[in-house]
A and B are shown apart, each in its own frame.
Chain A
């Protein structure tokens, strides 16, 4: 399998649930990203990881907790979310970490919080 994969593709959860989103890249990239895409709003960068280290947290609420155990895997742990957190969550990766490289996106996880 190649490219960037995300699981699950769809997720419905209650506000008291704990769930995790998973992203895996098979491209040998060193940087991975989480984005949020809400309806009728531009894409928002949430987190950046370079060589497994978090280098950017774009003022994301603590109910979103990222984890990057290695350069190929990225998780987003979700806890006590709000209905307004319903969105498409996209993972991306890039080879370099200097900001000039193309980012490759996964298909996204469409999340609905009830």
Chain B
């Protein structure tokens, strides 16, 4: 079992829907990252969280340290949000990032 698990693995929704992607981890972490990977491979860092909640535009990321769980929400989803979203946990006391397998999101117009 991977130290970082994401669900769902694939998600298809209609434009405008509220999207939630979940990430659970089993290691002690100092921070958790949400990344977005577009077709072609380039990766963009969306959030880095160590507690609470962060919001950027239509994206919201939350983390519950006690439950070892984080969620990424997208409000008013748009086809340009279609990408793979990756959760990555920074192992406590190290630079090492452990990655989830990614969630492939497709937003249909």
Contact = CB atoms under 8 A, between A and B. Distances in A.
A106 B38 CA distance: 12
A90 B69 CA distance: 26
A56 interface: yes
A7 to B, nearest CB: 13
B94 A99 contact: yes
Given A99-B94, A100-B31, A102-B33, A42 B100 contact: yes
Contacts of B98: 42
Contacts of A56: 95-96
A106 B96 contact: no
Contact of B41 (A40, A90, A97, A102): A90
A43 B99 contact: yes
A89 B29 CA distance: 25
Interface in A31-59: 31, 37, 40-45, 48, 55-56, 58
B96 A45 contact: yes
Contacts of B27: none
Contact of A105 (B40, B44, B96, B101): B44
B95 A99 contact: yes
A43 B90 CA distance: 13
Nearest to A37: B41
Nearest to B45: A102
B95 A55 contact: yes
A88 B102 CA distance: 15
A66 interface: no
A37 B35 CA distance: 14
Nearest to A107: B42
B97 A107 contact: no
A105 B42 contact: yes
Interface in A76-114: 88, 90, 92, 97-108, 110
